[in-house]
Structure 1
Amino acid sequence: MAKTLLSFGHGYSARALARRLLPEGWTIYGTTRAPAKAEAIRESGVIPLLFPGPDCEAALAQASHILISAGPSEEGDPVLAAFGDQIAAAASRLEWAGYLSTTGVYGDHQGGWVDETTPLTPSTRRGQWRKDAEQAWQAIPGLPLHVFRLAGIYGPGRGPFAKVRDGSARRIIKEGQVFSRIHVDDIAQVLHASIHRPHPGAVYNLCDDDPAPPEDVIAHAALLLDVPAPPAVAFDEADMTPMARSFYAESKRVRNDLIKDELGVRLIYPDYRAGLAALLAQED
């Protein structure tokens, strides 16, 4: 039976999932707020919809699956604000719903390990918004919801090589700082596996096997390019945007056992070294 996915906020991760689903014969609708992005969505084989226009409601009536990538703000979740009643009415008919959240909901653990059972204690405004949005989606009766908490995303077009090449990269040093990360292709394969093995109510961490200090990733990128490692700069002295600086407010290592044990996922890129090598090979 043909399947139809309505992708709210059809961005980087959703596009990677679409590349897996389209060859299987899926119909995919992808929403955007920017008319200029509609043609690029269409060229990828996805049907573009302007959010929050009336075509979104028509697509929802056809959808067997929905994916929510659009992020919340202090006003709340934009998809629920626009179509919450319609989604609630369709909940029992939908086969799968996926919400892309963030490991930021766990807050700061001073480099310690977290898993899906760790209490949610976000320490940033964005983390609190995500926690609130997760809970709002989980409160919809009968919705076959799956929550995916994503670590730092990288992949084609989102690697460190450009900044290392142009000399703008820096190795920001903050004692004890460690991040988890995930390649976009592994996000896509986890979502794909969940769609084919649904478990309503499930929550999954999406990250690789090797949490690492951010300066190690930059240094390895330079090694792969055979150029000197970028200069080391102390965190307190670094020239950073408020957004970039906020990421350093939290340090934690994220466990990913559940995607392996429950969904049978074997990571394509189990650490940043494998992921960066692949990105460089794709560039070449």
Structure 2
Amino acid sequence: MNLFIFGLGYTALQFIHHHGHRFAEICGTVRSAEKAQAIQEPGLRAFRFDGPASDSAILQHLDETDALLISAPPTEGRDPVLERFSAAITAAPRLRWIGYLSTVGVYGDAGGAWVDEGTPANPASSRARQRIEAERQWLELGASAPFAVQIFRLAGIYGPGRNALVKVADGTAKRIVKPGQAFNRIHTEDIAQVLMASIEKPSRNAIYNVADDEPGPPQDVIAFAAKLLGREPPPEIPFDQAELTPMARAFYEDNKRIRNARIKSELGVTLRYPTYREGLHALHRAGERS
């Protein structure tokens, strides 16, 4: 089985790290020739794709792929992959599975209530609105195609090199407190196992929330990481006094709790890290502290 990935970012590379051995060939795209040369994963071929600029070899490898993972975000209101390659994807003779990585941000603010895949999308930001439009376009592409399209709405991503332990250790962690605020998270290893389970069991036009079992206040995660490292946690900062970028402030405007039952009932997934505590414990045992 051959895999092609549009957008060889952090999450996609973690998927390859955990499950790359399951594929005969893995190809993917980055936005510059320099990034293509810097890719270090064994057995991975990287090609340049940056809007209208793309390596001609992409078309050949799309024609030979069985599974297609879309990790590239929309840009300027358009999905760059669909804009450039929709005809080639539709015509790919071996293609059986497409996975599109989206975000739980498409649900918008639920006032702290629980949401599931049946909850209507209510995106508040332009970035989330672009995501829901890209979801719609991918599902439309797969509605009558021989391949199955799946949408994966990811909660806050953490994993090796990107987690609260790193932030505490390098002094960038902040404990911002907004009463009643809760976020879900998801470890990259659990994202990887959800994607692999879906590849093994495609489901046409399925949507999956990919989140852990326990939504909670972000300041608790920082405090737990500090405890693992034997450090004093940073002081709590009331939300209305915090100095935040517009993007970070918008992040706190969405308050919801994500139900993840579908990845368990339909894909048979058992989360390796059902809460941030198991995830941070494992990262700390692996030496994550800087």
**Band of TM-score, shorter chain:** over 0.9
Distance 1:27 1:47, change over 3 A: same
Superimposed CA distance per residue, residues 232-260 of structure 1 (whole angstroms, 9 cap, x where no aligned partner): 11112111222212110100000000111
Query: Matched residues in 2 for 1:177 and 1:95: separation?
Result: 40
Q: Aligned partner of 1:252: which letter?
A: K
What residue in structure 2 maps to residue 157 of structure 1? 161
Aligned residue pairs, count: 281
Distance 1:112 1:21, change over 3 A: same
Superimposed CA distance per residue, residues 94-145 of structure 1 (whole angstroms, 9 cap, x where no aligned partner): 1101000000111100110000100011111111010000001111131410
Alignment of 1:31-110 (within 5 A): 31-51=29-49, 52-90=54-92, 93-110=94-111
CA contact (8 A) 1:73 1:126 kept: no
Structure 1: stretches of 5+ with no match in the other structure: none
Q: Aligned partner of 1:19: which letter?
A: H
TM-score normalised to structure 1 length: 0.95
Alignment of 1:251-262 (within 5 A): 251-262=255-266
What residue in structure 2 maps to residue 116 of structure 1? 117
CA contact (8 A) 1:208 1:269 kept: yes
TM-score normalised to structure 2 length: 0.93
What residue in structure 2 maps to residue 139 of structure 1? 140
Q: C-alpha displacement at 1:84, in angstroms?
A: 1.6
Query: Matched residues in 2 for 1:179 and 1:212: separation?
Result: 5
Q: Aligned partner of 1:62: which letter?
A: E
Percent sequence identity over aligned pairs: 50
Deviates more, 1:255-264 or 1:28-37: 28-37
Q: C-alpha displacement at 1:43, in angstroms?
A: 3.8
- 2:121 aligned counterpart, secondary structure: coil
CA contact (8 A) 2:63 2:94 kept: no
Q: Aligned partner of 1:53: which letter?
A: D
Q: C-alpha displacement at 1:25, in angstroms?
A: 4.2
Deviates more, 1:8-17 or 1:201-210: 8-17
CA contact (8 A) 1:152 1:181 kept: yes
What residue in structure 2 maps to residue 178 of structure 1? 182
Query: Matched residues in 1 for 2:184 and 2:22: separation?
Result: 31
Distance 1:43 1:185, change over 3 A: closer
